[in-house]
Structure 1
Amino acid sequence: MTDSSPVARQIGDDSFNYFFGYYNKTNWDESGRFLLAHQVPWVNHRIEANLSARVGYFDTHSGDRFTTIGETTAWNWQMGAQLQWLGGQPRPTVIYNARRFGTQDRFPGFCSVVQEIETGQERRLPLPIYVASPDGRWGLSVNYRRLWVAHQTIGYSELGAASELDPYPQDDGIYRMDLSSGAYDLLISYAALRAFHPKDSMQKALHWVSHIEINPSSNRILFLHRWTERVADETCFLHRLITVNPDGSDMRLLECSDHPLPHLEADFDPSSVGTFDYEKSEYQISHPLWKDDRHIIVWGPHAGEIHYHLYEDAADGSVQVIGRDILTENGHMSFSPTNQRWMISDTYPDSQTSIRELFLFDMDDESRTSLGGFYTSPDLGKENRCDLHPRWSPDGTQVCIDSIHEARRRLYVADVSSIVTSAGR
């Protein structure tokens, strides 16, 4: 391991708290000038249905001035409101989730907002967004109320008691929505997932999906299919990595981590499980992301070992271990948009120091360069934690993270240009 540790610059200096959310999309616009973020007055708060966050952007060419473009109560600490830039638009445009009431939409109470940031012009779509295709033509949606029950960290809170859920309904699953017209249809149902290479452990389990991603050419989708009989204990979650075409055809099972679950005994106490024990499970499949149109990087088990693995999206595709004996724990990984020699990732907090490490990994010589360690309060739980979630700038010279190491939630930017453009690289 080498250590150059560039200094991470805090974005903005007011009294608010800011965060972007997940690692799977950049918060920089194409020009590299604007940084999307959520603004809240609290460093920590239980997620409630009436809790409002502002959405907007920092202008890095104007003293990091923050401009608010909207407000939403459809958000969580991990993914925010799924705020993201919308590709293929004539002017800088974002999409994010919000609530609306009295509608007959598929998921009543939730919608998505498409907004031009310069004019403020907006329109509302009938489904909430999970991820938009890189070409900006369509997006994928899920039932965030279902996620609130199954995996609360990535769901949206209910107005009242949590809903009773059908374990694997035929009329719910992953929806595809046209981002111009708002027309939508069911791409894959939970019943279809339950019937796809079924396992005995699925019979009494609640099913859901997460980590839905679209490849750069917008012609292939990946997602995690998860199921459990005990939603209160994440070590009982079971996982599959699946890919599919945008029309629902050619579904492929790339990995399955079905395994015995002694934790299902009636006297098991979920509160005995540490905050990050789930993330360190030897059966965990997590944080998949497209490296390119045909390859997926993911943390998970394969052939009896758990590593960073690179999967080829094919019927009998290859699986390659990345960074054996170097990348030894789960993280949020992605490849530079300009040079896939470079992978950015992070760690979960060290159990003794509560430090999260940010690092670069060189795919050519398998070296790891530390970009610094960032403290997080051990008092934060699963739902309100602050992961680094590193994200690349469009030109591949900077990395943006969320962090709480200075007692507020803030965005920080590290300049990695001296590393990725150094002699011989």
Structure 2
Amino acid sequence: MGIENQRIVNAEIRAFELSEPGKHHFFGYYNKQIWDLTGSRVLALQCDFPSKDLQPSDVASVGYFDLTNGNKFKKLSETTSWNWQMGAQLQWLEATQCRDIIFNIRRPLNDGGLYPGFGSRVVNVETGEAREYNVPVYVVAPSSEWAICVDYRRYNATHPTIGYVDELEPVELALAPSDDGMHILDLASGETKLVLSLADLNTNQPVASMDGAIHWISHPEIAQDSKRILFLHRWTKRIEDEFCWLHRLYSVNPDGTDLCLLECSDHPIPQLDDAYDADANSVFDYEKSEYQISHPTWVNPKEIMVWGPHKGEIHYNLYTDRSDRVEFIGTQVLTENGHMTYSPNGRFILSDTYPDDATSVRTLFIYDTHTGARYDIGRFWTDPNLGKVNRCDLHPRWRRDGRAVCIDSIHTEARNLYLIEVGDMLDQIQAEGDKA
């Protein structure tokens, strides 16, 4: 598997900052589209500080940069339900021709919602008209008809990097409840339905390590035709140490049927020994683990890309949904975990690395699936003192036409967005590749 004679080419190009003086800006995760249909509006959150341990009262402004009006930030709303890694799950509603956005908010604890205290809001970018749901969203289907909902309170206990700081006192969570897991929100009616419970996952092809472990669903993503969902099922007996987490990659229909187990990373965990010192690990050690399944994304409605182990090796892997077919991608040059997505034309992979241990530099790169060449297009320093929760990953994202990318970065000690034009470079790469 893979392409012979793979190589790395250094080709740094200029990044253009999107920012306003005295403020800090970011978007969050890597596989949501932040440009509107015209390419003139770029979604972002704005805050008064570049990093800190967030409190329930910390406010982020929700809006977009107007690329046709001096790159000015247009504020549309505010939220106190956000984190540094995924923001407020801000995203366009595609079916409205990107006239509406949706994002998570806090609501009264007594509003009768599925997860008290958390909800979501839709805002029209032209009129400012807004409506709310009493449930938070993770991702909206491309059809804009429904959204996946998960428990951010459970995240705050199991995976605080992607949780929301809670106003309530911590409570002991059920390990694998039958009344929680993946809910589907009907955006027209506002009704929610549990389609897959954690109890379902705990009893589906169980392994011994699940006994006495706490479970959660992570990173659900919806295929481009809105007909299939991928997600990670995670469980552990020691929440505080990620080396003790175990993972399975699944796909499923939106109604919970046709559940398909694609990969399982169950493995021995010496870290469970009482003598093991979890504090001896650095911030990014686990991101470089040989057992982690992470950053799944739909390539198309039939294929899924993920960083993870398969048959004793760990690579960028391409899975064919509802089959046992797995292909290793770029084995010689894609050698560490990153946030990866395919270009709109399907030829290139955009991704990044975690900070180098010695230099604290993250590398942004593009991989050509036709030639096997990797092009390193930028290097961005990050503060090594940032922790797991308030770090700033590059989280690179394609523009809809595949000719520009956007990243979050903190290399100037301010957290801001950066646009990088890559169209001319990709044209040259394709021309040279076609000649070869």
Cα distance between partner residues in 1 of 2:20 and 2:220: 34
Which residues of 2 match residues 265-280 of structure 1 at below 5 A? Answer: 265-280=273-288
8, 32, 35: which one aligns with 2:15:
8
* Paired amino acid for 1:31: T
Contact preservation (8 Å) 2:298, 2:305: yes
Runs (4+) of structure 1 exceeding 6 A deviation are none
Q: Partner of 2:60 in structure 1?
A: 53
* Paired amino acid for 1:68: K
190, 195, 200: which one aligns with 1:192:
200
144, 164, 168: which one aligns with 2:152:
144
Q: Partner of 2:229 in structure 1?
A: 221
Contact preservation (8 Å) 2:221, 2:297: yes
Cα distance between partner residues in 2 of 1:212 and 1:254: 14
Deviation at 1:126, TM superposition (A): 2.0
Q: Secondary structure at the match of 2:157?
A: helix
For these two proteins, the number of residue pairs brought into alignment is 423
Which residues of 2 match residues 58-73 of structure 1 at below 5 A? Answer: 58-73=65-80
Q: Percent identity over the alignment?
A: 49
Q: Partner of 2:330 in structure 1?
A: 323
Q: Partner of 2:134 in structure 1?
A: 126
Contact preservation (8 Å) 2:141, 2:222: yes
Is residue 2:301 matched to residue 1:293? Answer: yes
Which residues of 2 match residues 296-307 of structure 1 at below 5 A? Answer: 296-307=304-315
365, 373, 384: which one aligns with 1:367:
373
Unmatched 5+ stretches in structure 2: 1-7
Which residues of 2 match residues 62-141 of structure 1 at below 5 A? Answer: 62-90=69-97, 92-101=99-108, 102-141=110-149
Deviation at 1:117, TM superposition (A): 0.7
Contact preservation (8 Å) 2:147, 2:186: yes
Q: Secondary structure at the match of 1:402?
A: strand
Deviation at 1:13, TM superposition (A): 4.0
Deviation at 1:341, TM superposition (A): 0.5
Distance 1:350 1:90, change over 3 A: closer
Q: RMSD of the TM alignment (CA)?
A: 1.0
Q: Partner of 2:43 in structure 1?
A: 36
Deviation at 1:163, TM superposition (A): 2.4
Deviation at 1:97, TM superposition (A): 0.1
Provide, for residues 3-46 of structure 1, a one-character-per-residue CA deviation record: whole Å limited to 9, x for no partner: 22110110134220000000011211111110001101001110
Bigger Cα displacement from structure 2, 246-255 vs 85-94: 85-94
Contact preservation (8 Å) 1:55, 1:69: yes
Q: Partner of 1:392 in structure 2?
A: 398
Contact preservation (8 Å) 2:37, 2:97: no
Q: Partner of 1:176 in structure 2?
A: 184
Cα distance between partner residues in 1 of 2:68 and 2:189: 35
Deviation at 1:267, TM superposition (A): 2.9
Q: Partner of 1:382 in structure 2?
A: 388
Q: Partner of 2:354 in structure 1?
A: 348
Contact preservation (8 Å) 1:208, 1:227: yes
Contact preservation (8 Å) 2:284, 2:354: yes
